[in-house]
């Protein structure tokens, strides 16, 4: 599948943003963070900023973005529509939570309730995003049991690393938050390795034989219907060289998982402000690594239409 940057950035940024929003909502409601103005301003600003930037970026993928409002109508059947509805609905409790925290300086009663609702909205929205991909049968690499949990795990992981960076930035970091982030990054790493392993061994029932209805033997492409690449080949026939794929997987592992773990563990050992710098670096490296991961998520996915072209 063609890795359009608008969609790669959209899923990565909203994943991290919703992860951070959910954690802020829960921690705020549980009274584990203080209703400090700057903490709320930066934390909620970062979460809602990532979400908004991601959603805006996604409209860049549209042929007619001025009609994007129509996408809220078909929530009964479409995961994409459900995602749109969930993302906009989540802005309501998230906005109230942000107002309560930043402007009113409180995290009790209705502000706490808004925080919990925002967290629920964030989780639901990430599930909707995951289901858009997991529901597509023609793309076996996505239509797998790994896709939806992957989106949730990566969202929680990048959200927790961002939260740790924000807390450390205000010298509010604690070993508890660090101890929460490191296993999540490790879980993300294991999940990604398991997903790649599953995809590399994938054998589907769909072949050039079933695609053409010609039973038995082999079906070899003699001639394409056209000499130049068409929409189908540009959009669904994107191919990535095997050597680049291996290299990019190593880059993903280094930036998104290995380096953040090293930096977070180092943050345990060093005092503030060095711990804050290390935590911020971990978040930046992971975001870059997750962009590569998401690029590969698209680039390595194979669509059944390629069978018609002998690819």
Partner 1 sequence: MTCLPTHTDKKLGLVIDLDTCVGCQACVTACKEWNTGGHMAPLTDIDPYGGHVDGVWFNRVHSYEHITEMGGRTVNFPRSCLHCEMPACVTVCPTGASYKRASDGIVLVDEDKCIGCKLCSWACPYGAREFDTDVGVMKKCTLCVDRIYNDNLAEQDRVPACVAACPTSARHFGDLGDPASAISLLVTERGGVDLMPEMGYHPTNKYLPPRAHTQRAASVPAKALEPVRAEGGFLGWVDRMLSN
Q: Tell me which residues touch partner 1 (CB under 8 A).
A: 1, 61-65, 67-68, 70-74, 76-81, 84, 132, 135-139, 205-206, 208, 210-232, 235-236, 303-305, 308-309
Cis peptide bond N-terminal to 264, omega within 30: no
**Cα 105 to Cα 123: distance, rounded to the nearest angstrom:** 25
Q: Which of 186, 138, 135 is nearest to 160 (CA)?
A: 186
In terms of CB distance, is 31 or 65 closer to partner 1?
65
In terms of CB distance, is 61 or 244 closer to partner 1?
61
In terms of CB distance, is 59 or 199 closer to partner 1?
59
Rounded least distance, CB 303 to partner 1, Å: 7
In terms of CB distance, is 81 or 158 closer to partner 1?
81
**Cα 31 to Cα 44: distance, rounded to the nearest angstrom:** 16
Q: Tell me if 253 sits within 8 A of 189, measured CB to CB.
A: yes
In terms of CB distance, is 175 or 231 closer to partner 1?
231
Rounded least distance, CB 29 to partner 1, Å: 32
Give, for 41, the enclosing helix (H) or strand (E): helix 37-59
Cα dihedral across residues 136, 138, 139, 142: positive or negative: positive
In terms of CB distance, is 1 or 156 closer to partner 1?
1
Rounded least distance, CB 51 to partner 1, Å: 18
Give, for 229, the enclosing helix (H) or strand (E): none
Rounded least distance, CB 121 to partner 1, Å: 18
Q: Which two tokens stand for residue 309?
A: 């072209």
Rounded least distance, CB 209 to partner 1, Å: 9
Rounded least distance, CB 108 to partner 1, Å: 38
Q: What angle do CA 279, 282, 286 make, to 5 degrees?
A: 145
**Cα 168 to Cα 181: distance, rounded to the nearest angstrom:** 13
**Cα 60 to Cα 63: distance, rounded to the nearest angstrom:** 8
């Amino acid at each position: 599948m063609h890795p359009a940057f608008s969609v790669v950035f959209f899923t990565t940024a909203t994943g991290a943003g919703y992860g951070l929003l959910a954690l802020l909502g829960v921690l705020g409601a549980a009274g584990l963070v203080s209703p400090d103005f700057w903490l709320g301003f930066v934390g909620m600003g970062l979460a809602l900023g990532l979400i908004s930037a991601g959603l805006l970026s996604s409209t860049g993928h549209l042929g007619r973005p001025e009609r994007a409002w129509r996408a809220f109508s078909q929530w009964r059947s479409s995961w994409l529509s459900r995602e749109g509805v969930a993302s906009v609905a989540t802005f309501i409790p998230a906005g109230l939570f942000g107002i309560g925290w930043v402007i009113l300086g409180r995290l009790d009663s209705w502000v706490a309730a808004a925080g919990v609702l925002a967290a629920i909205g964030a989780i639901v929205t990430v599930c909707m995003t995951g289901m858009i991909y997991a529901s597509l049968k023609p793309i076996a690499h996505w239509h797998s049991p790994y896709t939806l949990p992957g989106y949730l795990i990566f969202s929680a992981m990048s959200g927790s690393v961002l939260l740790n960076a924000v807390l450390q930035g205000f010298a509010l970091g604690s070993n508890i938050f660090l101890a929460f982030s490191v296993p999540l990054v490790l879980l993300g790493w294991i999940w990604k390795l398991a997903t790649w392993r599953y995809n590399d061994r994938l054998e589907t029932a769909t072949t050039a034989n079933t695609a053409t209805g010609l039973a038995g033997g082999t079906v070899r492409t003699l001639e394409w219907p056209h000499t130049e690449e068409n929409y189908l080949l540009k959009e669904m026939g994107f191919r990535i060289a095997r050597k680049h794929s291996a290299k990019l997987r190593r880059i993903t592992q280094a930036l998104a998982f290995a380096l953040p773990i090293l930096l977070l563990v180092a943050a345990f050992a060093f005092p503030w402000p060095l711990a804050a710098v290390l935590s911020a670096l971990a978040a930046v490296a992971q975001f870059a690594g997750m962009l590569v991961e998401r690029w590969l998520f698209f680039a390595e996915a194979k669509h059944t239409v390629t069978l018609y072209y002998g690819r």
